[in-house]
Amino acid sequence: MKRKALIVTLTILLCLFFMPQYSGVIRRAEASRPTKSAAAIIAPTPFVATAPLNVTAECMITIESTSGRILYAKNEHKKRPMASVTKILTAITVLENTADLDVKRIIPAGAAGIEGSSIYLAAGEKISTIDLLYGLMLQSGNDCAVALAILTGGSIDAFATLMNKTAQKAGANSSNFINPHGLHDERHYTTAFDLAYITAYAMRNKVFRIITAANSRRIERTREDAPTLILNKNKLLNSLAGADGVKTGFTKKAGRCLVASATREGMQIISVVLNCGPMFEECSALINAAFGEYKLTKIAAAGDALTEIKVFDGKSKTVKAGIARDLYYPLRADERVEAVFDAQKVRAPFKKGRKLGKVEFYLENRLIFSEELFSIEDAGSMSYWEFLKRGLGEWRIVHNKDKHYANKQILSLLRDCQPSKLRTACA
């Protein structure tokens, strides 16, 4: 009798095992949109809106820094000379290639007497790299730019190679940098688009952020008659709410250029204008418009349950799944984000943190985030009797009431180990 009961039991288990299983994509219509602000950088996304005012700049772009979303743009891919806003890239290239910023360096002869803006470096004087960076970014010292290039790269040409590599890391692929200061050269150009993403990249560096937000700096110099107080030329630091950088520029060929930044409630906006007479006014208006129209919105929180994935042989039929980091994105009040889940049914047991698939977030049918999906809880396996009980309980029930009754009877008889009656119930 025991042998017959075992045969019947195994037959039922085999039937359950080969029943069709779920697999595929789960969709959720809309991601939650809490209003807390914070900062999350992803690739640029081209949701471009026309600027909400009459922009006179030849080229312009305004982006949200951490997501890279383009908020407003005009001729953003047009190649143009950019004057001293070049020094944004100079600064971040130096920061990434200098081990000790406080060591005093001997100023090379090639850095003395450079035309244009200057802190009047003299060959042979000693000054730290950090003070040269302040001279570069606040006073816009062309002599500081050349000194930093030679001290960092060994030569202007070698440093320009480093600059171009750094620009490419930042996502700037339509630019060519020949010198560290931005004095005119037909081979030296960029786009408003590239400058915005170079700046967003640079703003991820803490030292860069501190330098570019400073109103002034008193530097240490070995020349007794040399100026030591450096003032920032960026007027927006004192007139625009939340302003925290970054750089002005001017040459006759480039016109007036400005890259400006401001942060409010955790959202940072970067605006670039090239060849723009009222550069401070237009950047200020664009940044204010962006803060008025967009809010940095939490799309999903790390560790929160975003969906449930079906589980084979688990004590629970599903396991909760989420992602490993918080996601934020600038959204207008009328915008909604869709989450699309791609996860296969998995077999228990497994521990919290098991990779289950992926989730993609879309805005206006454009991908903005793609994240791995993980279990946020353990999934224990069923015992033999739990497995058998659930399998029988989920047996495919047809609408015929007699069949429904028979399925329940199978479970009851199997518990009592009465194989002869079990065969009758299955007939």
Q: Measured between alpha carbons, how far apart are the two ends of the chain, in Å?
A: 19
Instruction: Determine which one of 65, 67, 74, 87 is catalytic.
Output: 87
Q: Which residue has the tokens 């890259």?
A: 259
Amino acid at 69: R
Tell me the three state secondary structure of residue 93.
helix
Q: Is 181 exposed, middle or buried (0-12, 13-18, 19+ CB in 10 A)?
A: buried
For residue 62, report the phi and psi dihedrals to the nearest 5 degrees.
-135, 125
Q: Which residue has the tokens 């060849």?
A: 275
B/e letters for 67-96, b = 16+ CB within 10 Å, e = fewer, are bbbbbbbbbbeeebbbbbbbbbbbbbbbbe
For residue 81, report the phi and psi dihedrals to the nearest 5 degrees.
-65, 155
Instruction: Determine which one of 67, 84, 271, 284 is catalytic.
Output: 84
84 is catalytic: yes
Residue 67 in contact with residue 41, Cβ under 8 Å? yes
87 is catalytic: yes
Tell me the three state secondary structure of residue 374.
strand
Residue 330 in contact with residue 71, Cβ under 8 Å? yes
- Alpha-carbon distance of 224 to 11, in angstroms, equals 96
Beta strands 295-300; 243-251: pairing state: unpaired
Instruction: Determine which one of 140, 175, 271, 284 is catalytic.
Output: 140
Mind telling me the catalytic residues? 84, 87, 140
